[in-house]
């Protein structure tokens, strides 16, 4: 998502937009701006860069109160931190305008280098999956066909969901031991171990080559929920057996059916879901990003 402020800035600089950034040429430099948590990030690519040019940039940034920058190959990355208020767009615009004017004046006939092949050329901004870059026409054609081939290959991956699900269940077994150990021997809230199930479940799913897809992510959630519940019931059983001092299964089943015991188990399971849920949602968002089976290519569009 792009903050409205960035869109406004992009429009003023006559840039274009991709899914997460505004991009485009300002004079003979390529500009990419995006937002992060409490920050705006500017990446500026120039045709040439000498030590003298770097000095100029540092001086200009100091004037704007910016003391830190990262040098890229033929470019610079500047982070504008925003702890309380958004960084004034006018200031960012001023910095971009001044630096780009300087480079146009100094290297009037030179072009930016393609970010794939490195040859100076006329460039267009594209996003490949989540990476936005300025590339030449040749590289664009090449990557598009590469990505098409990869996406086509993806379609032939077998739907080995069952194997992934089983892998996820099997790998979660140590989580059950952790629950029992914490609960029975350390008297700790077993819910803490539920995070372990998520972590292990994902590993198991991957190890058993479960298909990387959204449905796969759903299966991991399902297996985690099943195993967390199972782990807690088992932990209660071990505790009850330990307190009875005999291995009396009939008695155990009788106690497990007592409403008060069931209520407590359900309460514990819910707390565990709440705790692992936070971690699971976090993991899931990551997975959804990484596991999008098809990579899409987008050309920067008008704001
Ligand atoms: Zn190229």
Q: Which helix (H) or strand (E) holds 44?
A: strand 39-45
Compute the C-alpha angle 173/215/227, nearest 5°: 20
Any idea what the Cα angle at residue 250 is, between residues 249 and 251, rounded to 5°? Answer: 90
How far, in Å, is the centroid of ligand 1 from the Cα of 121? 8
Map residue 198 onto helix, strand or coil: helix
pLDDT digits (tens, 9 = 90+) for 150-177: 888 777 767 789 999 999 999 999 988 8
Instruction: Write out pLDDT tens, residues 121-149.
Output: 999 999 987 788 999 999 999 988 988 88
Distance 13 CA to ligand 1 centre (A): 25
DSSP-assigned beta bridge partners for residue 29 = 26
State in Å: Cα 143 to ligand 1 middle.
10
Compute the distance from residue 136 Cα to the ligand 1 centre, in Å.
Answer: 4
Looking only at the bridges linking them, the beta strands covering 297-299 and 124-128 are antiparallel
Backbone angles phi, psi at 288, to 5 degrees: -60, -35
**CA–CA distance, 184 with 200 (Å, rounded to integer):** 22
32 Cα to the center of ligand 1, angstroms: 18
> How far apart are the CA of 195 and the centre of ligand 1, in A?
45
Q: What is the pLDDT of residues 40-60, one digit of tens each?
A: 999 999 999 999 999 999 999
The residue ranges of every structural domain in the chain are 4-153, 161-290
> What's the 102 CA to ligand 1 centre distance in angstroms?
25
CA of 150 to the centre of ligand 1 (A): 20
In angstroms, the CA 284 to CA 7 distance is 29
The total of other beta-carbon atoms located within 10 Å of residue 261's CB is 14
Round to whole Å and give the CA distance between 208 and 126: 35
Task: Tell me, in angstroms, the distance from the centre of ligand 1 to residue 117's CA.
Answer: 4
CA of 107 to the centre of ligand 1 (A): 20
124 Cα–ligand 1 center, Å = 10
Residue 78 CA to residue 84 CA, distance in Å, equals 18
* Local confidence pLDDT in tens for the 303 residues of the chain: 788 888 999 999 999 999 889 999 999 999 999 988 888 999 999 999 999 999 999 999 999 888 889 999 899 999 998 888 888 889 999 999 999 999 999 999 999 999 999 999 999 999 987 788 999 999 999 988 988 888 887 777 677 899 999 999 999 999 888 888 888 777 666 667 778 888 899 899 989 988 877 788 889 889 988 998 999 899 889 888 888 888 888 888 998 899 998 998 898 888 888 888 888 888 777 776 666 667 788 899 998
Whether 208 contacts 163, CB under 8 Å: yes
End-to-end CA distance of the chain, in Å? 13
Give the integer Cα–Cα distance in Å for 185 and 46.
63
Torsion of CA 55, 61, 66, 72, to 10 degrees: -60
Instruction: Indicate the class that CATH gives domain 4-153.
Output: alpha beta
């Amino acid at each position: 998502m792009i903050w409205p402020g960035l869109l406004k800035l992009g429009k003023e600089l006559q840039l274009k937009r991709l899914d997460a950034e505004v991009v485009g040429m300002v004079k003979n430099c390529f500009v990419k701006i995006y937002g992060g948590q409490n920050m705006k990030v500017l990446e500026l690519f120039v045709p040439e860069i000498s030590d003298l040019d770097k000095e100029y940039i540092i001086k200009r940034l100091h004037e704007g109160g910016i003391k830190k920058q990262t040098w890229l190959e033929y470019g610079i990355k500047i982070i504008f931190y925003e702890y309380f208020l958004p960084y004034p767009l006018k200031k960012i615009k001023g910095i971009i305008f001044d630096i780009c004017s300087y480079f146009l004046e100094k290297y009037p006939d030179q072009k930016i280098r393609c970010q794939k092949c490195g040859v100076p050329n006329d460039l267009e901004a594209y996003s490949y999956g989540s990476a936005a870059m300025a590339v030449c026409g040749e590289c664009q054609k090449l990557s598009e066909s590469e990505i098409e081939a990869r996406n086509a290959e993806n379609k032939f991956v077998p739907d080995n969901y069952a194997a992934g699900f089983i892998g996820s269940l099997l790998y979660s077994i140590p989580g059950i031991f952790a629950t029992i150990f914490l609960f029975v021997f350390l008297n700790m809230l077993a819910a803490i171990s539920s995070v372990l199930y998520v972590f292990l479940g994902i590993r198991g799913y991957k190890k058993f080559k479960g298909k990387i897809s959204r449905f796969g992510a759903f299966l991991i959630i399902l297996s985690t929920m099943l195993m967390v519940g199972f782990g807690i019931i088992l932990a209660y059983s071990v505790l009850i057996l330990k307190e009875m001092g005999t291995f009396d299964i009939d008695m155990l089943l009788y106690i497990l059916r007592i409403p008060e015991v069931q209520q407590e188990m359900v309460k514990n399971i819910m707390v565990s879901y709440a705790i692992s849920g936070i971690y699971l949602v976090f993991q899931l968002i990551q997975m959804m990003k990484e596991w999008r089976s098809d990579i899409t290519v987008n050309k920067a569009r008008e704001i």
